[in-house]
Amino acid sequence: MTNAEMAAADGATIKSGAFGGIVLMERAGGAVADAALARFAAAARVHVLCGPGNNGGDGYVAARILAGKGLSVRLYALAPPKPGTDAALAAETWAGPVGGLDAFAPDPADLAIDAVFGAGFSGALPDPVQSALARAVDRRCPVLAVDLPSGVNGDTGQGAGAVACAATVTFYRRKPGHLLYPGRALCGETIVAEIGVRAARPTATFENAPDLWRGALPRPGADTHKYARGAVAVFSGPRHGTGASRLAALAAQRAGAGAVTILGHPNALDIHAAHVTSIMLRAWGDDPMAALGTLKGIGAVVLGPGFGDLPLARSLAAAIVDDKGPALVLDADGITAFADDASGLFDAARVRDEPALVLTPHAGEFARLFPDLAADAAAGKLAMARAAAERAGAVVVLKGPDTVIAAPDGRAAVNANATPALATAGSGDVLAGAVAGLAAQGMPAFEAACAAVWLHGEAGRASGPLAIAEDLIAALPAHLSKLV
């Protein structure tokens, strides 16, 4: 849930009359105290740092409960809570002294509870907060964050001045800032406490996980045949650049596509012929555009990996999208080909009722295609991908350690199962092929992209830290077959 979605859920829960905000705050503070007792019961002292908002309110509650359990608790406030708020009510229940943040002097055997800022924070961390948090790090005192490490923006994961916490207790649902970097790394272990919030309405933001797309996975009927099981075409690069397209083609097969064809110049196909067996090869001869005539019956096309010829990539992609042809996964050179002007491609893509274009940029490619969106770094990766998807009429897979998948209808998922094992040449080609393989089997583009990103992450985990792209392909089916 984004901050706004969470605030709406909190508000709706309170408005429903079941219980007031102070009850939610008591439960939130109680969950923080539980986490402190479960993980840091041996702490010599517990230092609770409180801000002026409701995040601070949770801190006052936790401090009271922990003191009641016999722990040695000290409390420091950046500023008193605003009168009339739940936080002010919570602060009244704290009977002990309240120091300023400058009095906070932690030791390694202590625990610090960071209840300075949570979902309501934006902008830059005030100096006294930054220096207090830095003291905890310098003094090797573990920090337990309430909702978010102070300074981390719940919507973007950005957090200048925020420090790495041992654990973070958040409420009801994780926020994008718990999954997007650097926030994800700063949170440490993330604990989600229920506290009784009820969702106001369906949300559009998800952690990418099988529940989101399992129902759309292809399940071939008994009467299927190889073309009905999904036909994919992959455009080859030139003679000395065939590997990337082969990786994509193999990944499409391993994602279950029944018939995969590599299209290319005869020179390039000679090289492919020495490598592949069940993949079909089709030469385009002197007129590459004639290859488009062979796309009849094809469900999804991959264009871009190792392709090389940017003007040709541009012509082919534009023709496929203009003709309302098969789903098109545009990757690598296919994206770069539209760096100067993608508006025609996007106009054609937006005409479709259901998105049939999938763009799979890494950050550098994204900046080529959407320079204005990339320039507004403060907006964060989630907002960037959403804006790009809407503009392009495409599913946008903005890759990286925290890949975001966004659809033109506003849905977006943040992926959290990838490991650095995926940072290996050809890994993106495998992903592009897997998206096409699933899309060709009839999965809607957003679900196909989410599923492929997740399966790619699982394949990386299963293949160990030294995986190469070929290993990822081999590891795709095990994870897919567990889900169908």
Ligand X SMILES: Nc1ncnc2c1ncn2[C@@H]1O[C@H](COP(=O)(O)OP(=O)(O)O)[C@@H](O)[C@H]1O
Q: Which residues of 320-353 are buried (b: 16+ CB within 10 A; e: fewer)?
A: bbeeebbbbbbbbbbbbbbeeebeebbebbbebe
Task: Output 115 or 295, the one with its CB closest to ligand NAX.
Answer: 115
Which of 193/349 has CB closer to ligand NAX? 193
Strands, E, within 374-411: which ranges? Answer: 395-398, 404-406
| One-letter amino acid for residue 422 of the chain | L
Q: Which does 150 bind (CB under 5 to 8 A by kind): ligand X, ligand NAX, K ion, none?
A: K ion
Is 415 labelled a binding residue?
Answer: no
**291 marked as part of a ligand binding site:** no
Among positions 10, 114, 331, 429, the unique one binding K ion when judged by CB under 5 A: 114
Stretch that binds ligand NAX, among 54-62, 256-264, 279-287, 383-391 (CB under 6 A): 54-62
* 244 marked among binding-site residues: yes
Interface of this chain with K ion, residues 47 to 106, rule: CB under 5 A: none
Closest approach, Cβ 401 to ligand X, in A, equals 4
Q: How do the residues of the chain divide into helix, strand and coil, expressed in percent and rounded to 5?
A: 45, 15, 40
Per-residue binding string, ligand NAX, 217-256, x by CB under 6 A, is ----------------------------------------
Identify what 114 binds: ligand X, K ion, ligand NAX, none; CB under 5 to 8 Å per kind. Answer: K ion
Residue 415 neighbours by CB under 8 Å, 6+ apart: 207, 208, 402, 403, 404, 405, 450, 453, 454, 457
Among residues 139, 173, 138, 168, the alpha carbon closest in space to that of 151 is found at 168
Query: Is 147 within any annotated ligand binding site?
Result: yes
Q: Strand, helix or coil at 100?
A: strand
CA–chain centroid gap for 40, Å, is 30
Stretch that binds ligand NAX, among 52-60, 363-371, 374-382, 385-393 (CB under 6 A): 52-60
157 belongs to an annotated ligand binding site: no
Q: Which is nearer to ligand NAX, 53 or 428 (CB)?
A: 53
For residue 58, say whether it is annotated as part of any ligand binding site: yes
> Considering only CA atoms, which of 174, 143, 137, 134 is closest in space to residue 157?
174
Residue 171 labeled ligand binder: no
Residues 138-157 binding K ion (CB under 5 A) are 145-146, 150
Q: Choose the contact partner of 171 out of ligand NAX, ligand X, K ion, none; CB within 5 to 8 A by kind.
A: ligand NAX
Number of residue whose CB is nearest ligand X: 428
Q: Which residues pair with 193 in a beta bridge?
A: 171
- The nearer residue to ligand X, 378 or 423, going by C-beta atoms, is 423
Q: How far is the CB of 150 from K ion (least distance, A)?
A: 4
Q: Which helix (H) or strand (E) holds 75?
A: strand 73-77
Q: Could you give the CA distance from residue 268 to residue 277 in angstroms, rounded to a whole number?
A: 15
Question: Judged by CB, which is closer to ligand X: 101, or 251?
Answer: 251
Q: Are 262 and 234 in contact (CB under 8 A)?
A: yes
For the chain, the distance separating the N- and C-terminal CA atoms, rounded to the nearest angstrom, is 28
Q: Is 344 annotated as a binding residue?
A: no
DSSP SS3 for 350? helix
Whether 123 has a binding-site annotation, put simply, is: yes
453: left (phi over 0), alpha (psi -120 to 50) or beta: alpha
Token pair 């023709």: residue: 319
Is 398:361 a contact under the CB 8 Å cutoff?
yes
Give whichever of 49 and 276 is closer to ligand NAX, judged by the CB atom.
49
* In the complex, least distance from residue 271 CB atom to ligand X, rounded to whole angstroms: 19
> Which of the listed partners (ligand NAX, K ion, ligand X, none) does 132 bind, with a CB threshold of 5 to 8 Å by partner kind?
none
Query: How far apart are CB 310 and ligand X at their closest, in Å?
Result: 16
Instruction: Return d(Cα 138, Cα 55) in angstroms, integer.
Output: 24
Q: How many CB atoms lie within 10 A of CB 193?
A: 18
117 binds ligand NAX (CB under 6 A): yes
CB 191, CB 167: distance < 8 Å: yes
Is position 53 an interface residue for ligand NAX (rule: CB under 6 A)? yes
| Binding residue (CB under 6 A) for ligand NAX from 54, 156, 336, 427 | 54
Applying CB under 6 A, the residues found at the interface with ligand X are 332, 362, 399-401, 403, 418-420, 422-423, 425-429, 431, 456
* Contact residue for ligand NAX among 146, 217, 268, 473 (CB under 6 A): 146
**What residue numbers does the annotated binding site for AMP cover?**
399-403, 428
Enumerate binding residues for ligand NAX (CB under 6 A).
10, 21, 24-25, 28, 51-58, 117-124, 126, 146-147, 171
Enumerate binding residues for K ion (CB under 5 A).
114, 118, 145-146, 150
